Structure 1
Amino acid sequence: MTIEQRLAALEAQMQDARDRQAILDCIKRNSRGNDRFDIDLVTSSYHADGLHELGERHISGREYGEHANRAHNALFDANLHNVTMHMCEIDGDVAHAESYSLGVFLDKGAEKARLLAGRYIDRLERRDGEWRIALRRATVEIAMEGSAVLPSGSTLVGAGYLRGSRDREDPSYERPLTPDHGGRW
């Protein structure tokens, strides 16, 4: 193998790794945007004509962030979307990804919590050099509900733990991060 061939193979491997990371970053950006009610993050994960399947209907990726915020705010005091196992097949400028997800939702009043486990099944496309979701289909395969208490038997409310917020006041946006920022349960 010539040096040119070796460099070309290395470039192809690096491009594959960069594409995979950009795709995973897009999927994680969507989940973080949902949890922080950051519509810009959610919207930036979809192409302008991207679709998000909700049950039997489709909603524009551009409208999904506002829709999710309204639904989450009406039902829950907090929500966390976790992307776990992730697989991706890339074919040029189109990728198909399957990402396992765990959604944890704290009901209003912080007495009960719900866990939804499923998968995001996405078709992503690279347009103008950027990977975004063209179509998202989500499964829900396990749903559980339980009491939202700590091992001590107390609820989060009054426990003194740092509490995230659903806006840019969340400690994760703070630069530089200091020990004085953020509300407590």
Structure 2
Amino acid sequence: MNTEERLAALEAQMRDAADRQAIFDCIKRNSRGNDRFDVELVTSSYHVDGVHELGQKQISGREYGEHANHAHAALFDATLHNVTMHSCEVDGDVAHAESYSLGVFLDKGAETGRILAGRYIDRLEKRDGEWRIVLRRATVEVAIEGKATLPSGAPLPGSGYLRGGRDHTDLSYARPLTTEGGGRW
């Protein structure tokens, strides 16, 4: 293999790695936006014509952030969407991804909670150099409910642990991050 062929192969590998990282970043951006009630972040993970399937109905990706905020605020004191195992197939400017997800939901009043485990099955497209979701189909395959207590058996309220904010007051937006601020349970 000559130098030009090696460089071309390296460029192809770098392009593939960069595309895969951008796809995974898009999927994680969606989950982070849900937990921080950051509609702009959620919306930025969908193309203008993107669709999010919720059970038996479909909602525009552009409307999904507001919809999720409303539902999460009405039912839960806190949510944490975790993207775990992830795989994707990239074919030019189209990708198909499967991402396992664990959603942890603290019910209103913080006495009970639930864990939903499922998958995000996504078709993404790269348009104008940016990967975004065109279609998301979400599964729920395991649901567990129970008391929401710390490992010590104590309830979360009054624990003194930091409590995440559901908006831009959350510590993850703080620059620079310092030891000041932040609400506590």
TM-score, normalised relative to structure 2: 0.99
Quote how far apart the aligned CAs of 1:17 are. Answer: 0.2
Q: Deviations over 1:100-121 (max 9, x none)?
A: 0000000000000100000000
Structure 1 portions without partners, runs of 5+: none
2:58 corresponds to: 58
AA of the residue aligned to 2:94: V
Is the partner of 2:151 in helix, strand or coil?
Answer: coil
Quote how far apart the aligned CAs of 1:57 are. Answer: 1.1
What is the RMSD of the two structures over their aligned residues, measured on CA atoms?
0.4
Q: Deviations over 1:67-96 (max 9, x none)?
A: 000000000000000000000000000000
2:179 corresponds to: 179
Quote how far apart the aligned CAs of 1:181 are. Answer: 1.6
Say whether residues 1:72 and 2:63 are aligned partners: no
1:29 corresponds to: 29
Structure 2 portions without partners, runs of 5+: none
Counting matched residue pairs gives 185
Matched ranges for 1:115-130 at <5 A: 115-130=115-130
Percent same amino acid among aligned pairs?
Answer: 79
AA of the residue aligned to 2:170: D
1:15 corresponds to: 15
1:94 corresponds to: 94
AA of the residue aligned to 2:184: R
AA of the residue aligned to 1:124: L
2:83 corresponds to: 83
Counterparts of 2:125 and 2:65 in 1: how far apart (Å)?
Answer: 20
Counterparts of 1:181 and 1:42 in 2: how far apart (Å)?
Answer: 25
Say whether residues 1:144 and 2:149 are aligned partners: no
Quote how far apart the aligned CAs of 1:11 are. Answer: 0.1
AA of the residue aligned to 2:178: T
AA of the residue aligned to 1:31: S
AA of the residue aligned to 2:142: I
TM-score, normalised relative to structure 1: 0.99
Counterparts of 1:43 and 1:152 in 2: how far apart (Å)?
Answer: 39
